[in-house]
Structures are given as structure tokens and as C-alpha cells.
Structure 1
Amino acid sequence: MTTPPTRRPRPSPSAGAAWTTLAGLLAFGLGQASALDIERVGDHYVITVKDLLADPEVYQSELRDRGLDITLRVAPTSAGNARRMFVLHDVDSPALGPARARERPHHHRRRARPVPAARRLRDRGEGPVDYAKKAEIILGRQAMLGEKYAIPPGLAMPGEPLHCVAFVNRSLAEVQELLRERGVRARFISNGQRRAQDSAPSGCYVLDGVMSAHGEPLLLVGSTPNPRLTP
């Protein structure tokens, strides 16, 4: 008895066409996605960062395509420091210049449909079309869970544990107690040290303080107060 050969199922023409179309749409979408929206408004460019987690080279490529000699870095920072923009104009000879941050209208922050966090944190800046110098721009974005801050905010800035508290030149014991009351524990560093320590000598004074990550204060300590520093 001869067994008839087994036929392998073939995809229907319609299924094959659907897969081809889907692959084409995906490829088109990936290829056309941009990290920046660069719009000319009068005599200025308005640059909106659409993807805060894009590869830095993507930013540079899109800026070069518009003839802009701008280095853009997006750096993790605190929620209160996010959306702030730091600009160096003519980086070979830094000076104040015309580029500046531009706040988005409030209605953009009250969208009815949810959007990913990276998209919600869009920010924009503007600068003149005829600006011919080289500029470096650092834009703060809210750090992800566990991510260290590349732009560490001061400990007394809005939203930080010691906001509006005069802590500079106070004893380490006093400042530690203030931080404990707020549910955070500091690490310490002193002049000449390269790495933060979990403890500091008793009797020290706090000379400065920043947030190195969410809930992680970093205190600069010294053996004596610094009379040139004001609380």
C-alpha cells in the first residue's frame, strides 16, 4: 500500500499579503521616526525633543541635517530639575547668547489619553535661524528608577529634602537629623576625596549638599565652617 505524500500547508495569498504589508509599515515607521521636531517660526527655529531616551548621535544627525552646529545632551536629573535647559554659546569662547528654553503651553500637559513618560516630558528650545556659532545644550529629563543624576540639584532647591532650609555651615549632626526627619539618609564626601563614603567623622560641618539620585543626598563636609559660604 502506498502512502500519499504529505502536503505542507501553504499560507493563503491574502495572509502573505497581510504580513508583507505589516512588515512594510513597521519598517517605514521605524525608518521615519525622528527624535526631534525642528520647526522654523519666523526668524527662529523651535526645537522640540520628542524622544528623551534617543541615542545622542540621533540628535546630532538631525541637527546637522538642518545645518545647526549644536551638541545636544539629555541628562537625568530630579523631577523638579527636569525640563531645565543649560546652554553654552560659542563653546570655544562661552558667552550668553540668544538660544533659550521655551515652555510648552499648559494645555499640552492635560491630555485626555495617556502617553508614555518619555513622551510626556517633551521640552523645547528656540534660537535664531542665522545663529552661526557652535552651541552646547544640556536638557534635563526626569531620571528613571535607580538612575543617578547627571545634573544634581541642590539640596535646598524646590522639591528637594531641605528646600528653603539654611543648612550650610551647620554641624553634620544637625543636618543629619533634618534629613532623618524627611526620611532620607545622606552619603558624604570631603575635599580631596573621589568617592562618597557612608560615614563621616563626628564634629564635621556641612559645606554644601546635592541630590545624587532620588532620595540620596550627598553632603560635602569639612572639619571647620567656611566663612565665605552663606547658609
Structure 2
Amino acid sequence: MSDIDRLVAAIDPVPHASEQGQDARELFDEIVATPVRARRRVRWPVVVPVATVLAVAIVMGAVFIPADAPSGIAPAAALAFQRSGDDWIVTVKDLYADPERFASEFRARGLDIRLWITPGSPSTVGHVTSRTLSEGDGIEEESVACESPGGGCAVSFRIPAGFRGSEQIWFARPARPGERYDSAGDADATGELLHCVPFRGMTVDEVRAVLAGRDGSIAEFRVGERSDPAQHVPGDWFVQDAVPTAPGQVIVSAQPDRVKLSPELTTYVEKKMAECPRD
């Protein structure tokens, strides 16, 4: 079961539950979580502007040379290291490199750092989605401009040259065709399929029509108290929530009864809609 499957299963579809709105918001906070590891991990919100958490500089056209290339020709580096005083500035050059390539290049400089770059929905691209936290590790993100959401953002880190701890960092990149998201933002966040659509409380048919107009579709549904998967539901059912799951696709939680939004979620939706263009 993937992270997205596990997380959407946590949606509580019981209508009129007093905590329903809070659960819906907690879902979005949890969506970028990954399976629990032995070390403590800090989950970073995916709605913070990229410039506040990451450095970016799209690096296009990185050359990849296969491992069986003629001797004397080394594969292009996945990371660029630049010395700055007592620190290394490390910039990702290849968003699609294997994690072991990153680890190997860090090890070559005496650094025990693991970096995972996984597919994320447009609003999460270029954002740190999770990391372990070592006390006083001194690792910081470098910030420059980034065309977001959905842009090809490459992250830069400032790492003390004398760093002797260990660190694990995850961040999101654009998904390639056929990939499912490992991290996802709000379905109505900037860049997502349902941006500027007050979809909670709309019927399934209404949401399906909106998605079709944006070259999107409903991948599947979650229904009932246990959020059981379902391929089809009646078109007059009501949408409780939605989660981006792959490019052009969302998973929808639906129920036969009208959806009653909590005051907190109502305020959230109103704030989001206030940022949208007026017709």
C-alpha cells in the first residue's frame, strides 16, 4: 500500500461528525508523511512558498552516461559541490538520479547524508516534504527564486564542511508519466486540478465535469466508515474531500448525504476562494 493509499484511507466519511473538518485538514498535513523510520523526522508543510524552504535552480540537460560506458568516461555528477567558507553549498543537478548516487557523492566528501527525490503533486514540487532532525546539524536550505508550482526546482543545501552526523532528506519533484505521487498537497492548492473550485459539497457529477474540463479525472473513490475503495458511486453523491494521486487524477471521498463543513473548514475554503480570480 502506497503512502497516498494509506492516507486517503484515513478520511472519515461519516456525515455531520463534529470533528470532520479538523480531520480533513489533518489529512492534508499528513499527506506528505512517509512510513515511520527509526529516527525522528520533521514533516515540512507543503504550502509554504518554495523560496522560504528551498533553493532552486532548474538544471536542464544533465548528461547521463551509463555505467557500462567506455573506461575513462565518468557519469555526470548528480550533485554540485561548491565551497563557501566553512560550508559546502550542495545543489542537485539531476532530479531523477538514484538515491545511491547522491549518497555516494556525499560519502566521497565524508558526509553521511541520504537524499530522496520523489514524485509529488504540483503544489509540492520543490518543497522538502520530510527530513530527519539531528541536534545541531547545521544543515540549512539555500533560498533563491523558483517558478512554482510544478516547476523543475532543484534544491540547494548549505552543509558544514565538518559535519559528522547523519541526515535523511526527502523533497518532491515533478511526476513523470505513469508515476503516482509520493507526496500531495491540497486538491485545491495552486497548480492542482481543483484549484479555485469549492468542490467540497458538490456532487460527484459536478466535480467530474470540472475535472474533465481540466483534462483530469477521478481515479477512484473512498466510501463508508472505513473509507473502502470503490470504482464507481452514483453521480448524485456528494464529495467530501479529494486527494491528488497522479498527474491528472484525484481520489475522491464521497457519501450519499450532503456534506456539512465545520466552521474551521468553511473559513479555510472561503480564504482559498478569496484568492481566486473573479469572473
Please report the TM-score for the alignment, with normalisation by the length of structure 2: 0.55
Aligned-partner Cα distance in 2 for 1:76–1:105: 17
Label 1:122 to 1:67 Cα distance change in 2 as closer, same or farther (>3 A): farther
Match of 1:109 in 2: none
Q: Which has the larger radius of gyration?
A: 1
Asked if the contact 1:36–1:49 (Cα under 8 Å) also holds between the matched residues in 2, the reply is yes
1:10-21 equivalences under 5 Å are none
Label 1:46 to 1:169 Cα distance change in 2 as closer, same or farther (>3 A): farther
Label 1:124 to 1:207 Cα distance change in 2 as closer, same or farther (>3 A): same
Aligned-partner Cα distance in 1 for 2:189–2:211: 14
Match of 1:208 in 2: 241
- Gap regions ≥5 residues in structure 2: 1-68, 270-279
Q: Give the 3-state SS of the residue equivalent to 1:175 in structure 2.
A: helix
Match of 2:32 in 1: none
Is it true that 1:146 corresponds to 2:178 in the alignment?
A: yes
Match of 1:125 in 2: 156
Aligned-partner Cα distance in 2 for 1:72–1:193: 33
Aligned-partner Cα distance in 1 for 2:210–2:137: 38
Of residues 70, 89, 112 in structure 1, which corresponds to 2:113? Answer: 70
Match of 1:85 in 2: 128
Of residues 204, 214, 229 in structure 2, which corresponds to 1:172? Answer: 204
Label 1:205 to 1:136 Cα distance change in 2 as closer, same or farther (>3 A): farther
Aligned-partner Cα distance in 1 for 2:231–2:183: 21
Is it true that 1:40 corresponds to 2:71 in the alignment?
A: no
Aligned-partner Cα distance in 2 for 1:96–1:219: 40
Aligned-partner Cα distance in 2 for 1:164–1:133: 44
Aligned-partner Cα distance in 2 for 1:174–1:123: 37
Asked if the contact 1:171–1:203 (Cα under 8 Å) also holds between the matched residues in 2, the reply is yes
Is it true that 1:29 corresponds to 2:73 in the alignment?
A: yes
Match of 1:188 in 2: 221
CA-based RMSD: 3.4
Is it true that 1:217 corresponds to 2:261 in the alignment?
A: no
Deviates more, 1:141-150 or 1:121-130: 121-130
Asked if the contact 2:119–2:181 (Cα under 8 Å) also holds between the matched residues in 1, the reply is yes
Match of 2:103 in 1: 60
C-alpha offsets along residues 19-57 of structure 1, whole Å, 9 cap, x if unaligned?
A: xxxxxx942223x53211122323433221122222211
Label 1:85 to 1:171 Cα distance change in 2 as closer, same or farther (>3 A): same
Percent identity over the alignment? 28
Label 1:33 to 1:202 Cα distance change in 2 as closer, same or farther (>3 A): closer
- Gap regions ≥5 residues in structure 1: 1-24, 107-119
Aligned-partner Cα distance in 2 for 1:101–1:192: 42
> What amino acid does structure 2 have at the position aligned with 1:28?
G
Aligned-partner Cα distance in 1 for 2:256–2:117: 37
> What amino acid does structure 2 have at the position aligned with 1:58?
R
> What amino acid does structure 1 have at the position aligned with 2:157?
E
Structure 1 runs (4+) deviating above 6 angstroms are none
C-alpha offsets along residues 108-167 of structure 1, whole Å, 9 cap, x if unaligned?
A: xxxxxxxxxxxx946122234055554322222222222222223332122222212222
Label 1:105 to 1:176 Cα distance change in 2 as closer, same or farther (>3 A): closer
Aligned-partner Cα distance in 2 for 1:99–1:86: 15
Asked if the contact 2:211–2:217 (Cα under 8 Å) also holds between the matched residues in 1, the reply is yes
Q: How many residues align?
A: 190
Q: RCO greater where, 1 or 2, for CA within 8 Å and sep 6 or more?
A: 2
Match of 1:115 in 2: none
Aligned-partner Cα distance in 2 for 1:194–1:47: 44
Match of 1:100 in 2: 141
Asked if the contact 1:87–1:100 (Cα under 8 Å) also holds between the matched residues in 2, the reply is no
